[in-house]
Amino acid sequence: MADFHDTIFAKATKVVPGAAFNRALEALYNTADLVYEVLLSPELAWAQFRDRIYPPFIRYLKSKDFDPVRPVGVVVAVFFQDRCYLVDAVDFMGILRELDGLTPAALDALIRQWLLDP
């Protein structure tokens, strides 16, 4: 499998220097309803990142009345080293499906499980 970092980076619609994120955030809210920030550590494997990031992301989306399967209007700000990669949340969910080889039914089941877990 290709490095999942590269998969995330390739889905970014925009890359900004981390130090400039707050300025970019203001403009981002002109087009996005919600921005969710995550930290991508270089030493994490895909399974660690997935298990650490996706369950709380799914629960947060649900709490804000966004569809966790297709969170239209949401952007995920992925901070990695000195850059921030802005990824549409629909594409961020696509990364999960792609890297774990999930069918739509399997993704739905996984989301239901995460929503039930504390």
- Confidence at residue 15, expressed as pLDDT on a 0 to 100 scale: 96
Asked whether the CA dihedral 8, 9, 14, 18 is positive or negative, the reply is positive
- Confidence at residue 1, expressed as pLDDT on a 0 to 100 scale: 39
Q: How confident is the model at residue 6 (pLDDT cuts 50, 70, 90)?
A: very high
pLDDT at 60 over 90: yes
For residue 114, give the DSSP letter. H
Residue 111's H or E segment, with its range, is helix 104-116
Residue with token string 């629909």: 90
Residues 117 and 41: beta-carbon distance below 8 Å: no
pLDDT at 2 over 80: no
Whole-prediction pTM: 0.92
pLDDT at 114 over 60: yes
pLDDT at 118 over 60: yes
pLDDT one-digit tens code per residue, 70-102: 999 999 999 999 999 999 999 999 999 999 999
